[in-house]
Structure 1
Amino acid sequence: MTETLHFTAGDGARIAYRLDGPEGRPVLVLSNSIATTFHMWDGQVAELAKSFRVLRYDFRGHGGSDAPAGAYSLDRLGRDVLELLDFLELARVHFLGLSLGGFVGQWLGVHAPERIERLILSNTSSHLGPASYFDEQIRNVLSASDLSATADMFMRNWFPPSMLADRNETVEEFRSAILPMSPQGLAGCFAAVRDADLRRPISLITASTLVIGGEDDKVTLASHSEAIAAAIPGAELVLLPGVHLLNVERPAEFMNAAMRFFQAD
């Protein structure tokens, strides 16, 4: 099964998802960054599908999912995942979340521990501020005539100067994918990040956890990864040379860290 499918969440929003890999294998859920779609993981799926049934989905407000009006909450984004798992009759899964996907992974680890086997939290934070920064981003995306300035901001945050200096096909693909996105969807997810604070609750996470951070990440700083790993009992920390979308910038090192963790006894 390789086509994009949809299910309807509890509040009526249609959420796009895709399954890759043979049935019967352990399920690995991939959750991506704000302003990307599940295609963010295209470079990893073939290898992951050798070991897992890979489940990807688009956040509400992104890609093939609906973009309801109003601010979204981390609680709602987490429940979208739980309702998707219920819809697919998946009792327990592995979860790999990057950036906003890592926020969702932390929420799931706290609120639905019985559903999460192994957990990877990549390039993420338990709290990002100040709130005024996200309020400004929300105003910008809702008032702009197009998303080109927003796309440029994300490119600077996601990729190293070496990839931005000259025309880079990968960077262009990610930038082009932002331009047709729903401003309301981006604003809704900005609000979810603005309002999220998991700094204290994540000490309750019991899943075996790997935290991956970028040494040069400009948004979810390496210190944020260190704080998460310190707060979650028994968590492992790996810092890689790179910025934010480590699965894209450093795919070999990223996959080596992830697979070593998933295959550990």
Structure 2
Amino acid sequence: MPFAEAADGTALHYEVHGSGRPLVLLSGQSNSRRWWDPVRGGFDAAYTTVVLDWRGTGESGRPDTDSYSTPGFARDVVAVLDHAGIDRAHVYGTSMGGRVAQWFAADHPERVDRLVLGCTSPGAPHGVERGPEVRAALGQGDAAAARRALLELMYTPGWLARQGERQVFHTLGDPGMPPHARRRHLRASARHDAWDALPRIAAPTLVVHGSDDAFNPAANAPLLTERVPGARMRLIPGARHAYFEEFAEVATPLVLGFLAEGGS
């Protein structure tokens, strides 16, 4: 079980799978490496995938300090790649992982081959925030109702119905996170603002978003595409926030095709 050490001494757990050129997969807010479990196999066949537990999640350290920020998470990614002996990699970040990927690509261009930004945002004040009705649904006191609201933001009703009584979803947050880490993740994602850094991204970039994403509104996709030099955009019709899982038959080949343009 490999651990890297962050600049502040926090232990950062990560895993390496597959074979081929390196591909870093970055998960969403308050989620561990398990976010990628349902789809990672589709990437392992072509790439050496690196997945990590953000500080505060999974097996990583959980400091109750002001060390949680999207630029800080990007520095944690650097520590993981250094420990794994990886100088350069493709990077695919979704949701908050996409916010972190923006900083990683802007601040460390020499380490990024190709970049995929999924269901993410440039952040306030230039991004499009979720509506008040979404915030109210997620913030309600009834935990079961709030969980159901989050599920319906992640997945379409039809797909959820086909899951039946399935209890395990890897996109709803790491159940083992302490409250202080959840608060700090929320604050880190909410304070993200990479608008001025986006033009510095030099890697070929693909922006992917579900057309029906209300959790992180799809209107953010064209904002990122216009701001990152040479970026291209693909919307997945009918998809919500977890497009990469529910629509994996579309999304995974789309991303693999884009990455393959840079050589295998």
**Gap change, CA 1:60 and 1:151, over 3 Å in 2:** farther
Distance 2:213 2:172 in 1: 22
- Give the secondary structure class of the aligned counterpart of 1:43: coil
Unaligned runs of 5+ residues in structure 1 are none
Post-superposition shift, 1:36? Answer: 2.4
Aligned to 1:74: 70
Q: Deviations over 1:202-260 (max 9, x none)?
A: 01111010000110011221110111011111111010020011111101101111011
**Gap change, CA 1:51 and 1:75, over 3 Å in 2:** same
Distance 1:118 1:175 in 2: 24
Aligned to 2:47: 52
Post-superposition shift, 1:181? Answer: 2.5
Q: Deviations over 1:109-141 (max 9, x none)?
A: 11111111100000000115779x8xx99xx79
Distance 1:170 1:207 in 2: 39
Asked if the contact 2:73–2:100 (Cα under 8 Å) also holds between the matched residues in 1, the reply is yes
Structure 1 range deviating more: 177-186 or 228-237: 177-186
Equivalent residue in structure 2 for 1:11, among 1, 8, 13: 8
Q: Mapping of 1:52-201 within 5 angstroms?
A: 52-71=47-66, 72-128=68-124, 151-164=147-160, 168=164, 172-174=168-170, 178-201=174-197
**Gap change, CA 1:188 and 1:239, over 3 Å in 2:** same
Q: Deviations over 1:171-229 (max 9, x none)?
A: 64337864332222221111111211112320111101000011001122111011101
**Gap change, CA 1:175 and 1:93, over 3 Å in 2:** closer
Post-superposition shift, 1:150? Answer: 5.7
Post-superposition shift, 1:153? Answer: 4.5
Equivalent residue in structure 2 for 1:34, among 16, 29, 34: 29
Asked if the contact 1:60–1:66 (Cα under 8 Å) also holds between the matched residues in 2, the reply is yes
Structure 1 letter corresponding to 2:243? L
% of aligned pairs identical?
A: 27
Unaligned runs of 5+ residues in structure 2 are none
Between Structure 1 and Structure 2, the one with more helix by share is 1
Asked if the contact 1:128–1:193 (Cα under 8 Å) also holds between the matched residues in 2, the reply is no
Q: How many residues align?
A: 252
Structure 1 letter corresponding to 2:241? H
Q: Does 1:252 align with 2:252?
A: no
Structure 1 range deviating more: 174-183 or 65-74: 174-183
Distance 2:166 2:212 in 1: 19
Structure 2 letter corresponding to 1:195? R
Post-superposition shift, 1:83? Answer: 1.0
TM (norm. structure 1) is 0.85
Aligned to 1:263: 260
CA-atom RMSD in angstroms:
2.7
